[in-house]
């Protein structure tokens, strides 16, 4: 089994330190370069199948990475799913994270961002994302992975963190400290 997790490159709202969630924002210039760099790291890996979130920042990351890896022929077969979308930050979407800390306190914002089962106002908890991604994993990803296909999943910090829990590589207790850098492929064998 080879599973490659790729968090999208830096988005414009990552650059502006905003909660992004479901908002469909594009990559920043740095994010585009991160995606190309990820592709150069993937050049020696023959990918069989590609899955991506429907959000533009993940799709563009996959497109740029596969092109840089010389595997752009996979783009026409890339499978897109809302199940792989970022966590819904609800009422926090679009807000500056530093300003939100000033208004609500560092501990409250940490709980909204990193706890497993506490959702931000009008948003999703990571537990909800695990449930959403888990269904997709069981029905779509797992059969492909079990068929020994080299699988690339381009998605978001929280949907990929959810996948790590589903795979048993993290737990609800350890996931708070798990950081996935933008535009850096993570290989799971």
Q: Could you list the active site residues?
A: 8, 86
Whole-number Å distance between alpha carbons of 148 and 60 = 26
Tell me if residue 153 falls in helix, strand or coil.
strand
Q: How far is CA 102 from the centre of its chain?
A: 27
Hey, CA dihedral for 183, 44, 160, 80, is it positive or negative?
A: positive
Q: Beta-carbon neighbour count of residue 56 at 10 Å?
A: 15
What distance separates the 2 farthest-apart alpha carbons in the chain?
49
Compute the C-alpha angle 114/118/121, nearest 5°.
105
Residue 154 · residue 59 · CB < 8 Å? yes
Whole-number Å distance between alpha carbons of 9 and 11 = 6
Whole-number Å distance between alpha carbons of 56 and 98 = 25
- Beta bridge partners, 79, equal 51
């Amino acid at each position: 089994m080879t599973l490659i997790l790729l968090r999208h490159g830096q988005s414009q709202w990552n650059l502006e330190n905003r909660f992004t969630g479901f908002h469909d924002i594009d990559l920043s210039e740095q994010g585009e370069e991160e995606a190309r760099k990820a592709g150069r790291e993937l050049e020696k890996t023959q990918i069989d199948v590609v899955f991506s979130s429907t959000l533009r920042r993940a799709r563009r990351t996959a497109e740029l990475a596969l092109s840089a890896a010389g595997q752009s022929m996979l783009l026409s077969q890339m499978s897109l799913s809302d199940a792989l979308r970022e966590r819904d930050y609800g009422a926090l979407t679009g807000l500056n994270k530093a300003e939100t800390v000033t208004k609500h306190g560092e501990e409250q914002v940490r709980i909204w961002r990193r706890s497993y089962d506490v959702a931000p106002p009008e948003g999703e908890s990571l537990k909800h994302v695990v449930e959403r991604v888990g269904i997709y994993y069981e029905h779509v990803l797992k059969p492909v992975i079990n068929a020994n296909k080299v699988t690339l999943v381009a998605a978001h910090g929280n949907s990929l963190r959810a996948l790590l829990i589903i795979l048993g590589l993290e737990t609800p207790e350890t996931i708070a400290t798990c950081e996935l850098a933008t535009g850096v492929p993570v290989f799971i064998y």
